[in-house]
Structure 1
């Protein structure tokens, strides 16, 4: 058996260049390269891709016929023996092929141990037992590959998401081209109910797009044309989700025109496939332990086998019996199940996570995620929406709410400040189809606010300090009290004055995500002891947001380097700590945490590269799912280790003492290997409870 599962998936999307930053590549796995057993059997395809399985079944059939003939009197003993020898040829073909290829490269693996044991049985004239060994070993191999194909298909399905062709709009007409021919800036037409062929920006049309294959979002996302079609494509990542589409997502009932922002080999789905493939080669701590264990265990077994071969020199038994016992121990001690236990679970876990829109970069973060005791969250864009919203409209002095909003929208429409845009956007939405008069003559006032003319009247918009500085008409105490109250709740306030009359207050705030509270509750139920908000906003704002979403700790006014110091402090206080952020300005803090987790990583180069785990959709509820999956993976890995090590510990003394021969040892040995693989494959069907 192999000590890792090397299931390289060839994307159907354009090829992706290798990322040299990863510590493990396929070339490092000496006897697990693409020429090893996982792929060698494909070089001989007499019966198609299941040739090894058919060879194994032929071996079993010949073994059964030979065994039956051995009970018939009057026929030569060579007849059933010939069937057993033929069975050995079919059963040992792929085992011998693999062993010889590995030895030619200077390597050594478990297949060789099985081959030696079978040859030893043949030398002793035990052809039936040798055939039984090779039959069960080859059947175990074949069924293992068949079972692992299910995990491989879960990953390769990602690559099949992207269509092979796109409708390119050129000179007013559309022409079908291969997606590899698309260039950044090309316009493609996406018809209703078809897959989107490239990452891009919506230029024309409205539709709902099913992004579940990429981001895991269960509800289709509404898309609309970008306001400025001449946008720099390098800034496409920074656009709101409603303007962006991803290759492999499924268009709804509307037609769209999309400007390609990434070539096929650099699309989100292509990079996702590549990183999932790379994740298979990243060894977990448990896998590193099993590798170290085998490094010392296998030579120890070989020494034991050599000593057992010489047992006839010190005890009264023939050499044949000593040699047979040594071969039985060789079979019993081969750590096949141990070798496959962790890689199969890691592969299944990574595949399940990718299917749900979570990219886990290998075994180490998969295992570490399940051991977290504390999680630190960035505030803006992680726990909150990441954009300000109009939260309060407080009219005063007989001014109606609509009139106050009209003043605010008219004046702020002249400004390009992010808060001004939020007021205009949300104000218009509240007002509906009401006509809003145009303001003019915008000017800054003392750096603390703005002034404009609206219907021949001066309108001032600014903070409390502005109006206290003007000195002509100080704000009334009731207004000041209301401002302080709103700011204590985490709002940013703006006072509006028309001439010398205070019209009221408007407030904006980066509001918490709707799912934040439920996600944090789910994390608490999973046993996460501490959840801390880290933000550059002032402590008052941090406390207000934390209170609203039910988070007990909030650390405000932090610079990026102070976030790093906070993560290091948490790391000393807690066993394992994760940092959840957007993968850009939080990258240093992520790098210093046990596990760095990026939110909304779809389409973001930086997020995909810096994080250990990337939540492709901008959804906090994916985090409890990922942690639950990790804990299930850790449970299965532990179960597999107990099964594999327990079987070896049981079989070695039984075979040394002669209580178990090669036949029973093979059945128990190969049976435990299949149990381990099937146990690991349960992860493919993992569903978070109460999700």
Structure 2
């Protein structure tokens, strides 16, 4: 009985709705299917075709038995049925015997031949047909897993703007060699790792480092696949091929998934050969002992022994676990969670503690406007307070309209959400690392850090200064907006703008959902200041908060947590990798997560939405219940059928239907996990 994982390869072909695809934009994955995948597909088609021929010849054989003058006809049809139904069973049996093992396939082949020997050719053919059918269902489950995971690979960067002679041309990323010079435009997703050779700009590396602020890049800086070029035009030299990219690593992880089998599955596979040897010896005893101990008809004894061999075979028991776990892995993949094997699904089902990294996991990982306070603060309660607040945001957004900084984008998004039309900015000038100024209408304004306002002669009241000073303690960046006089000095500060990395909208609901599923402790690990971390933890209902941590501190805390429970660690960056490795289950957030995090983690969530984590935990726990159902049902069927065969005796066809029917039922019960509903 073959439960081997079918390899997963990228889809062939590409599609894009735009007439001219932009490098770094998403499109269908390209690439030729591997010969291994072609071979797997051919094997599946052959298995299905042989099963159909087996079934047709079996039905034709029983019909042809009524034609007495042509005895050769049913015999020929049954021979065809046995050849097609037992083809893969014989191959697997020979392979196992060469390896010094005895498996279920050998039991089925021997039972079918024994049935034919005692004149029950139809019963033996039915056994082989149903055995083939159950194998086809297993292959179908594996194929559904492969297709579901391949579907997630369709969206990825497929082309890159590469230097060619004196110009640039679009090339498929699979054909780009190391050392090629490529160009990035603002907004492009970086498809391949490289090193900047020309230009400057900001790159969003939140998935790599957990830092919510973009990183400035200049000649010599490293670029990483999966990150996003936010500003500036960059030239960079490719340092890694497409086969070493983030998504290529995900595909490789999926291909290896079945190698990491669940504990229950490994136990059953080890027990299978001992059980099979025991069944064969018991069958031989049933054949040999009755004639020796008492007079009995050999044909009847042999028939009963073959029936016992069939019903005692552990097909349903062996397929119980992989049928459920493979379907669960496929169902999870369709919903954006990649498990690297059934062992991690089984472990996640037992988790009672979850530790979260903060930045980019519980929070958005990008700046958002959090407050706009017009000065003087004493007038905020007036009837025109809201108008003054909106005007402050409008002025700030107008000043930032020509800036490429992510904080500027956050202020602009806030103004756009409030339907505030920006003012025309003239004479714009950026002050690197500090702020910017411009003329709006007939007045000039400055926006920047409090230190810049002070340098330009600006002053604030004690209450206003205190409001700006308290912002960093809450994890916020404070910007002051001031009006300038004709000399460029600050005439007066008109308000305070604060920007921060905000909590994900679904975070609180997801944490509440995890607790409802039975997670007893939620822990947050972060390098942020303690006041920021504690405030975030309070708002989310987190049980335990650890702040101001280095990667080694996260590792130490996770190791301590594993001493008192089963721990899952959720993170998205290099700084989370040690803790991900130390936890019982490491979970990497986001399809664009760093290679190190995804390589270290046991589960990869393709989306940053925390609901995916809730779905994964819910599915893991449901899969554990389904496995328990399958094992209990399979064992009960075997014990019942063996007891009936040894006591009252049952016909071989009934034993065949009971045995193979239970195998089909556990497969179908496992396939229910493909349609697992969201826990949200």
Please give the TM-score of this superposition, normalised by the length of structure 1. Answer: 0.73
Residue 677 (structure 2) aligned to one of 668, 671, 687: 687
Residue 341 (structure 1) aligned to one of 287, 299, 320: 320
Cα distance in 2 for residues equivalent to 1:258 and 1:612: 32
**Does residue 316 of structure 1 match 2:306?**
no
- Answer whether contact 2:468 2:496 (CA < 8 A) is retained: yes
Q: In the alignment, what sits opposite 1:293?
A: 271
Deviation at 1:496, TM superposition (A): 8.0
**Does residue 391 of structure 1 match 2:370?**
yes
- Answer whether contact 1:571 1:577 (CA < 8 A) is retained: yes
Matches within 5 A, 1:44-123: 50-69=48-67, 84-85=78-79, 87-123=81-117
Q: In the alignment, what sits opposite 2:22?
A: none
Q: In the alignment, what sits opposite 2:617?
A: 627
Cα distance in 2 for residues equivalent to 1:198 and 1:488: 37
SS of the counterpart of 1:687?
A: coil
Going from structure 1 to structure 2, the CA distance change for 1:176 and 1:516 (only over 3 Å counts) comes to closer
Q: In the alignment, what sits opposite 1:180?
A: 174
Cα distance in 2 for residues equivalent to 1:460 and 1:326: 89
Deviation at 1:269, TM superposition (A): 4.0
Deviation at 1:686, TM superposition (A): 2.4
- Answer whether contact 2:368 2:501 (CA < 8 A) is retained: yes
Cα distance in 2 for residues equivalent to 1:461 and 1:79: 94
Residue 234 (structure 1) aligned to one of 223, 227, 230: 223
- Answer whether contact 1:535 1:556 (CA < 8 A) is retained: yes
- Answer whether contact 1:491 1:508 (CA < 8 A) is retained: yes
Cα distance in 1 for residues equivalent to 2:367 and 2:668: 49
Deviation at 1:668, TM superposition (A): 0.8
Deviation at 1:258, TM superposition (A): 13
Going from structure 1 to structure 2, the CA distance change for 1:147 and 1:309 (only over 3 Å counts) comes to same
Going from structure 1 to structure 2, the CA distance change for 1:317 and 1:367 (only over 3 Å counts) comes to same
**Does residue 134 of structure 1 match 2:128?**
yes
Deviation at 1:532, TM superposition (A): 1.9
Cα distance in 1 for residues equivalent to 2:349 and 2:231: 33
Which deviates further from its counterpart, 534-543 or 319-328? 319-328
Going from structure 1 to structure 2, the CA distance change for 1:261 and 1:619 (only over 3 Å counts) comes to farther
Deviation at 1:354, TM superposition (A): 2.2
Cα distance in 2 for residues equivalent to 1:458 and 1:125: 98
- Answer whether contact 2:103 2:272 (CA < 8 A) is retained: no
- Answer whether contact 1:168 1:186 (CA < 8 A) is retained: yes
**Count of residues in Structure 1 that have an aligned counterpart in Structure 2:** 609
Deviation at 1:382, TM superposition (A): 1.2
Q: In the alignment, what sits opposite 2:636?
A: 646
Cα distance in 1 for residues equivalent to 2:395 and 2:70: 108
Q: Which runs of 5+ in 1 are unaligned?
A: 15-33, 191-195, 204-214, 216-225, 245-256, 444-448
Residue 533 (structure 1) aligned to one of 524, 545, 567: 524
- Answer whether contact 1:63 1:84 (CA < 8 A) is retained: yes
Residue 543 (structure 1) aligned to one of 524, 534, 551: 534
Superimposed CA distance per residue, residues 251-284 of structure 1 (whole angstroms, 9 cap, x where no aligned partner):
xxxxxx9998964423444333322221132201
Cα distance in 2 for residues equivalent to 1:63 and 1:510: 72
Deviation at 1:233, TM superposition (A): 6.2
Going from structure 1 to structure 2, the CA distance change for 1:506 and 1:333 (only over 3 Å counts) comes to same
Cα distance in 2 for residues equivalent to 1:164 and 1:508: 35
Deviation at 1:639, TM superposition (A): 1.9
Deviation at 1:367, TM superposition (A): 2.0
Superimposed CA distance per residue, residues 646-667 of structure 1 (whole angstroms, 9 cap, x where no aligned partner):
2212222222235223221111
SS of the counterpart of 1:544?
A: helix
Going from structure 1 to structure 2, the CA distance change for 1:426 and 1:436 (only over 3 Å counts) comes to farther
Cα distance in 2 for residues equivalent to 1:240 and 1:163: 13
Q: In the alignment, what sits opposite 2:653?
A: 663
Q: In the alignment, what sits opposite 1:6?
A: 5
Which deviates further from its counterpart, 141-150 or 589-598? 141-150
SS of the counterpart of 1:514?
A: coil
Q: In the alignment, what sits opposite 2:511?
A: 520
Cα distance in 2 for residues equivalent to 1:163 and 1:275: 19
Q: CA RMSD in A?
A: 5.1
Going from structure 1 to structure 2, the CA distance change for 1:180 and 1:646 (only over 3 Å counts) comes to same
Matches within 5 A, 1:511-590: 511-574=502-565, 576-590=566-580
SS of the counterpart of 1:596?
A: strand
Cα distance in 1 for residues equivalent to 2:156 and 2:399: 46
Cα distance in 1 for residues equivalent to 2:394 and 2:44: 77
Deviation at 1:288, TM superposition (A): 1.8
- Answer whether contact 2:427 2:438 (CA < 8 A) is retained: no
Residue 478 (structure 1) aligned to one of 444, 457, 463: 463
Q: In the alignment, what sits opposite 1:305?
A: 283
Cα distance in 2 for residues equivalent to 1:49 and 1:137: 11
Cα distance in 2 for residues equivalent to 1:550 and 1:631: 23
Deviation at 1:562, TM superposition (A): 2.3
Deviation at 1:631, TM superposition (A): 2.2
Superimposed CA distance per residue, residues 165-223 of structure 1 (whole angstroms, 9 cap, x where no aligned partner):
99988568998976632346576999xxxxx996699x9xxxxxxxxxxx9xxxxxxxx
Cα distance in 2 for residues equivalent to 1:489 and 1:168: 44
Going from structure 1 to structure 2, the CA distance change for 1:153 and 1:617 (only over 3 Å counts) comes to closer
**Does residue 277 of structure 1 match 2:271?**
no
Which deviates further from its counterpart, 422-431 or 124-133? 422-431
SS of the counterpart of 1:5?
A: coil
Superimposed CA distance per residue, residues 530-555 of structure 1 (whole angstroms, 9 cap, x where no aligned partner):
22221122221112222333434322
SS of the counterpart of 1:381?
A: coil
SS of the counterpart of 1:585?
A: helix
Deviation at 1:356, TM superposition (A): 2.5
SS of the counterpart of 1:540?
A: helix
SS of the counterpart of 1:283?
A: coil
- Answer whether contact 2:373 2:497 (CA < 8 A) is retained: yes
Going from structure 1 to structure 2, the CA distance change for 1:484 and 1:259 (only over 3 Å counts) comes to closer
- Answer whether contact 2:113 2:124 (CA < 8 A) is retained: yes
Cα distance in 2 for residues equivalent to 1:236 and 1:664: 59
- Answer whether contact 1:290 1:339 (CA < 8 A) is retained: yes
- Answer whether contact 2:522 2:543 (CA < 8 A) is retained: yes
Please give the TM-score of this superposition, normalised by the length of structure 2. Answer: 0.74
Which deviates further from its counterpart, 598-607 or 666-675? 598-607
Going from structure 1 to structure 2, the CA distance change for 1:488 and 1:141 (only over 3 Å counts) comes to closer
- Answer whether contact 2:450 2:480 (CA < 8 A) is retained: yes
- Answer whether contact 1:5 1:343 (CA < 8 A) is retained: no
- Answer whether contact 2:568 2:585 (CA < 8 A) is retained: yes
